[in-house]
Amino acid sequence: MKKDIKPMVSRREFIRDIVPGAALSTMILPHLARAASGAGGVANGRVLVNTAFGPMWLVKKDGTVTSVEPLKQVGASWELINSMPDRLYNRARVKAPTVRRDFLKNREKSDRTDRGSGDFVEVSWDEVSKIVTAEMERVKTTYGNASLHRGKSSWASNHAHFYKTESLLQRFLNGYGGSSTFFGNYSNQAVSEILPAVAWGGPMLTSEWPSIRNNAKLIVLWGANPLATSRILSGRYMTAAWRELKDAPIEVIALDPMRSETVQGLDCTWMPVRPNTDTALALGMMHTLYTEKLHDAEFIANCTFGFDEFSAYLTGESDGQAKSADWAAEITGVPADAIRELARKMANTRTTIVCGWSTQRQHHGEHAPWTLVALASMLGQLGLPGGGLTFGAHYADGGFPKADMPRVGGTPRGKNAVPDPFPIACLTDAYLNPGKTIEYKGREITYPDIRLVYTSGGNQFTHHQDTNRVVKAFQSPETVIVQDPWWTPSARFADIILPASSDLERNDLGQVMNLVIASHAAVDPQYKSRTDYDILTEFAERLGFGDAYTEGRSEMDWVEMLYNDAKEKSQTVEMPSFDEFWAGEGVIEFPMGKGDYVHLADFREDPLLNPLGTSTGLLEFVSPFVAKLGYDEDCPKHPTWMEPVEWRGSAHADKYPLQLISPHPPHRLHSQMCNTTMREEYAVEGREPAYINSEDAAARGIASGDIVRLFNERGQTLAGAVVSDDIAAGTICLHEGAWYNPDKPGEIGALDKYGSPNNLTREDPLTSRFAQATIAGTAIVEVEKYDQPAPAVTAFDPAV
């Protein structure tokens, strides 16, 4: 790739040449390198951008972004994107580098319980750069690199290539000798860990959509809501494809505690199921298949391992309890006849089970997906067109007919010299217990001694479970740095807040569906913000490794390099020169695949020639690998119903009788856009809506529009009631990502005024020792009408 690199002029020399005598502190002129950015994709007052909400045109008037137009290639619309101008100029933008007053004075000796108090001071970039670099040097010298910790980021920039916040920060910390870090995610960690051990390689391996649509006669949505969750990134082609099912000759049945956007949009059959009981439901169906001899004995003999031992569990021969439909009905709330009928229908019809990820974001979350693998194996349709099971078709472009196109790369992250990442779901446990050892899949992991946390593009105070524990955990490190464009709850709890400019203020490439896209800076960095690259470049320079960090490249040099790299690899389309691409329309379309790929067809055809990666090479009803770990209590060797730590049948369910679900918000991307006008579409009395079944509401004297308080032993939050029969009785729903807005910031147990569900969720235990994944979906709560005057929501006000 070297040939694509511009002559090596270091950033420092570059600026020195054009700004004679510039002092080090004022040297970084963030927009200089970008000024050359092209005029194409920037035509008729419109600018093409790619974002986590998908690619779109921004319409500008007199230099200001005023509205948005969809990109015609992208399919279904998402009303959320109309809030992009508000997001860009939002009053909750962080306008200048900001430091907590006590931290400014006392640094590592500051009162850490004061975090969240909002007592902030704005400082210059020079001053904040001195503080950040001094803190990094102090911690590195005193405690070593493992005491520098990189916080998790993901949805700031999962769409980005050069500007992936995670890569830029990793590259920076790795260039400084490394940092302690984490592995895994909140999305699909449990299924991602169990699937390769007992079935296929991972949740995104799926049949392509046209092959499903053209062959399935029945689609069972199992805890999946594709009309909501496919909207992000490039997924709107899939949203449109899902919508078409409404008029297709395919029956759709949804197993879900809510009449989801998909059930409503497709007007399909809804079978309400009690949260956290999917394993029991699938076992009840399998018992029906087995006792009625509806299972595919030939498929089981050819393609699976351990059925005899597993069937002894199904019948109750091994533990005295038959997992009959009647048994399952009691646990799941689905009538026994409906369970039997669904099992029969699936056995007699070409059926694809589309499973989302909520069912594995729960206690023993490895076993719900594994049980569905077992169910699909008994049905014997895996590897047939329109048959089987997918864990990927509900998500963004999962199932999109693969395009013949080169992969656009990203910023190299470098190597981390600090070993031993810990599972992300243990975050606060790690902050609170340095040196503690936990078990994970047959090995031990010891937590580092974290002194400084640097997060760019992640929102721990909305995304992590058990917010009060997060508050406590964030009182532990000496220094907390957050780099973010907005005054998110996490920014408010930091010592040092670095105003990053958003994705509309920088140049990058996008790759969505079958498109490569030029993502242009629509406007200059707003207020005193700087791009993530400029911020980290300045710190790297001050810490003495600026040239290694930048490799002498400006933003546009990197973008051009990534483009040329893809261009070289392109087999199907002659990509234009970078300058033409950037000045031209800015969208390159590649040929879309036929979409006839059927996952596991090869395996089914010849399992010996095309074995899976499991220890037996087969689909496993019983896993020798899992058995060897000896995790009998939390992750036994075959799909097993285990009562979750919290549900309607658990201890304290008398005090907290409702099961809380926190699905992904249809009108946000997690916490993003919570601070925009879009909120007016769904907020109730200015608060996050809580969906409550009409029986549960009546029993508590709650009506739609009331302000309510949800609470349990871990926390409490206000919300606005939406009373409805679109949610199963005994279940209550608050969407994740709502901004945490404590009435007494920093106080454990403070009342959240806006409605973040993570006040109520738990971090401990995690799924099991196998995956150590989050159990955000396992929590019980109580709700009451809030009769006192409700405190005003202040989450969306600027902090300074």
Ligand X SMILES: Nc1nc2c(c(=O)[nH]1)N[C@H]1C(S)=C(S)[C@@H](COP(=O)(O)OP(=O)(O)OC[C@H]3O[C@@H](n4cnc5c(=O)[nH]c(N)nc54)[C@H](O)[C@@H]3O)O[C@H]1N2
Q: Which residues here bind ligand X, judged by CB under 6 A?
A: 154-157, 165, 186-187, 222-225, 228-229, 231-232, 255-258, 260, 273, 275-276, 278, 356-359, 361, 394-395, 456-459, 462-463, 483-486, 488, 500, 502-503, 532, 661-666, 668-672, 736-737, 757-758, 761, 776-777
What is the distance between the alpha carbons of residues 615 and 383, in angstroms, rounded to a whole number? 20
Of these partners, ligand X, Mo ion, none, which one is at the site of residue 669 (CB under 5 to 8 Å by kind)? ligand X
- Residue located via tokens 């690259």: 533
Of these partners, Mo ion, ligand X, none, which one is at the site of residue 736 (CB under 5 to 8 Å by kind)? ligand X
Min. distance of Cβ 188 from Mo ion in angstroms?
7
Q: Are strands 42-43 and 46-51 parallel, antiparallel or unpaired?
A: antiparallel
What is the distance between the alpha carbons of residues 342 and 253, in angstroms, rounded to a whole number? 9
Nearer to Mo ion, 359 or 614 (CB): 359
Nearer to ligand X, 110 or 360 (CB): 360
Min. distance of Cβ 396 from ligand X in angstroms?
7
- Residue located via tokens 């405190």: 791
Which pair of tokens denotes residue 22? Answer: 């510039």
Q: Which stretch binds Mo ion (CB under 5 A): 34-42, 182-190, 532-540, 780-788?
A: 182-190
Which pair of tokens denotes residue 759? Answer: 């006040």
User: Quick one: which of 417, 497, 402 has its CA closest to 459?
Assistant: 497
User: Quick one: which of 794, 181, 748, 778 has its CA closest to 474?
Assistant: 748
Min. distance of Cβ 486 from ligand X in angstroms?
5
Of these partners, ligand X, Mo ion, none, which one is at the site of residue 211 (CB under 5 to 8 Å by kind)? none
257: buried, middle or exposed (CB in 10 Å: 19+, 13-18, 0-12)?
A: buried
User: Quick one: which of 192, 191, 195, 193 has its CA closest to 620?
Assistant: 195
Min. distance of Cβ 638 from ligand X in angstroms?
21
Sheet arrangement for strand 479-484: 120-122, 98-100, 496-499, 479-484, 452-456, 148-150
Of these partners, Mo ion, ligand X, none, which one is at the site of residue 638 (CB under 5 to 8 Å by kind)? none
Nearer to ligand X, 146 or 517 (CB): 517
Nearer to Mo ion, 187 or 712 (CB): 187
Which 3-state string (H, E, C) describes 405-424? CCCCCCCCCCCCCCCCCEEH
Nearer to Mo ion, 542 or 670 (CB): 670
Give the H/E segment covering residue 314.
helix 307-315
Min. distance of Cβ 668 from ligand X in angstroms?
6
Q: Which stretch binds Mo ion (CB under 5 A): 181-189, 490-498, 652-660, 692-700?
A: 181-189
Of these partners, ligand X, Mo ion, none, which one is at the site of residue 361 (CB under 5 to 8 Å by kind)? ligand X
Nearer to Mo ion, 191 or 470 (CB): 191
Of these partners, ligand X, Mo ion, none, which one is at the site of residue 331 (CB under 5 to 8 Å by kind)? none
Nearer to ligand X, 328 or 661 (CB): 661
Which pair of tokens denotes residue 603? Answer: 């395996």
User: Quick one: which of 741, 755, 753 has its CA closest to 690?
Assistant: 755
Min. distance of Cβ 762 from ligand X in angstroms?
10
Nearer to ligand X, 229 or 381 (CB): 229
Min. distance of Cβ 131 from ligand X in angstroms?
18
Q: Which stretch binds Mo ion (CB under 5 A): 34-42, 183-191, 376-384, 546-554?
A: 183-191
Min. distance of Cβ 143 from ligand X in angstroms?
25
Nearer to ligand X, 311 or 767 (CB): 767
**Residue of this chain nearest to ligand X (CB atom):** 356
- Residue located via tokens 């969306």: 796
Nearer to Mo ion, 230 or 550 (CB): 230
Of these partners, Mo ion, ligand X, none, which one is at the site of residue 224 (CB under 5 to 8 Å by kind)? ligand X
Nearer to Mo ion, 187 or 288 (CB): 187
Min. distance of Cβ 106 from ligand X in angstroms?
26
Of these partners, Mo ion, ligand X, none, which one is at the site of residue 241 (CB under 5 to 8 Å by kind)? none
Min. distance of Cβ 787 from ligand X in angstroms?
27
Give the H/E segment covering residue 48.
strand 46-51
What is the distance between the alpha carbons of residues 15 and 30, in angstroms, rounded to a whole number? 10
Contact 45, 60 (CB under 8 A): yes
Which pair of tokens denotes residue 359? Answer: 């069912």
What 3-state class would DSSP assign to 353? Answer: strand
**Residue of this chain nearest to Mo ion (CB atom):** 187
- State residue 264 phi and psi, 5-degree precision: -70, -45
Min. distance of Cβ 544 from ligand X in angstroms?
23
- State residue 423 phi and psi, 5-degree precision: -65, 135
Of these partners, Mo ion, ligand X, none, which one is at the site of residue 500 (CB under 5 to 8 Å by kind)? ligand X
Enumerate residues 350-389 that contact Mo ion by CB under 5 A: none
Cβ neighbours of residue 12 under 8 Å, at least 6 residues apart?
Answer: 27, 541, 546, 547
Site for Mo ion (CB under 5 A): which residue of 145, 153, 187, 640? 187
The beta-strand segments (E) located in 673-715 are 689-693, 707-711
Nearer to Mo ion, 490 or 537 (CB): 490
650: buried, middle or exposed (CB in 10 Å: 19+, 13-18, 0-12)?
A: middle
Contact 487, 184 (CB under 8 A): no
Taking the mean position of all CA atoms in its chain, how far away is CA 200?
Answer: 22
By the criterion CB under 5 A, which residues form the site for Mo ion? Answer: 187
